[in-house]
Chains A and B, each alone.
Chain A
Amino acid sequence: DARVTQTPRHKVTEMGQEVTMRCQPILGHNTVFWYRQTMMQGLELLAYFRNRAPLDDSGMPKDRFSAEMPDATLATLKIQPSEPRDSAVYFCASDYAADLTDTQYFGPGTRLTVL
């Protein structure tokens, strides 16, 4: 049963600390998305990669957020320095771009709390 995995599942940190979230997309998928979900804003797209190249990161605060895909099996989202307003659930999703159904498969999320 192929699925997207994310680590850690929960993270509590103090303001100013660096946070790194990791995602392993489904094997064979060539597109990886990072989303942030809050009660107020819903699901927001932060960035996405295709074939490991960043295609769109316009949803990401550039001064503190960075996203990378060091290889096809790992995507990372880093926040440095973290702020209380970054508290949210961060989801990674993957899909195969040639799949016309445009179906994204989501991971379980990383619940981040910044104190």
Chain B
Amino acid sequence: QKEVEQDPGPLSVPEGAIVSLNCTYSNSAFQYFMWYRQYSRKGPELLMYTYSSGNKEDGRFTAQVDKSSKYISLFIRDSQPSDSATYLCAMGGFKTIFGAGTRLFVKA
């Protein structure tokens, strides 16, 4: 079993839809939870991070962490074609482990 599980997709949605991306993890020692966005042929870039259970909002993006269930989510409101990318979750603390990434396509 992988330490971090993430559905690779692809996920295709119409413009304006609410997108939900999720990851589960197995090691309760992880302390930081991050979402990276990776455009085609580019390196991943940090989108959001949080270190506690609950929600964190940044514009159209909301990161949600449920430590009791070992489950994290990223919600994108009013999705745009420019949001089309691969989204990787990452868990950090004693080490950083990345999920496999979910490919998202937002159709205009």
Q: Which residues of A contact B (CB under 8 A)?
A: 4, 42-43, 45, 56, 91, 93, 100-109, 111
A-B complex: 8 closest residue pairs judged by Cβ atoms: A106-B43, A42-B100, A102-B92, A43-B98, A102-B32, A106-B44, A103-B46, A101-B49
Residue from the list A4, A43, A101, A111 in contact with B32, Cβ < 8 A: A101
Q: Are B43 and A102 in contact (CB under 8 A)?
A: no
Residue from the list A4, A43, A93, A107 in contact with B101, Cβ < 8 A: A43
Contacts of A91 in B (CB 8 A): 43-44
Q: Are A42 and B98 in contact (CB under 8 A)?
A: yes
Residue from the list A100, A102, A107, A108 in contact with B96, Cβ < 8 A: A102
Of the listed residues A4, A91, A104, A105, the one surrounded by the most CB atoms of chain B closer than 10 A to its CB is: A104
Q: Chain B residue with minimal CB distance to A56?
A: B95
Q: Are A43 and B44 in contact (CB under 8 A)?
A: yes
Is chain B's interface secondary structure helix, strand, loop, or mixed overall?
Answer: loop
Contacts of A101 in B (CB 8 A): 32, 49
Q: Are B42 and A102 in contact (CB under 8 A)?
A: no
Q: Which of chain B's residues 29-88 have a Cβ closer than 8 Å to chain A?
A: 32, 34, 41-46, 49, 51, 88
Contacts of B14 in A (CB 8 A): none
Q: Chain A residue with minimal CB distance to B92?
A: A102
C-alpha gap A56/B96 in the complex (Å): 12
Q: Chain B residue with minimal CB distance to A43?
A: B98
Contacts of B97 in A (CB 8 A): 45
For residue B9, CB closer than 8 A to chain A, the reply is no
Q: Are A104 and B100 in contact (CB under 8 A)?
A: no
Q: Are A106 and B45 in contact (CB under 8 A)?
A: yes
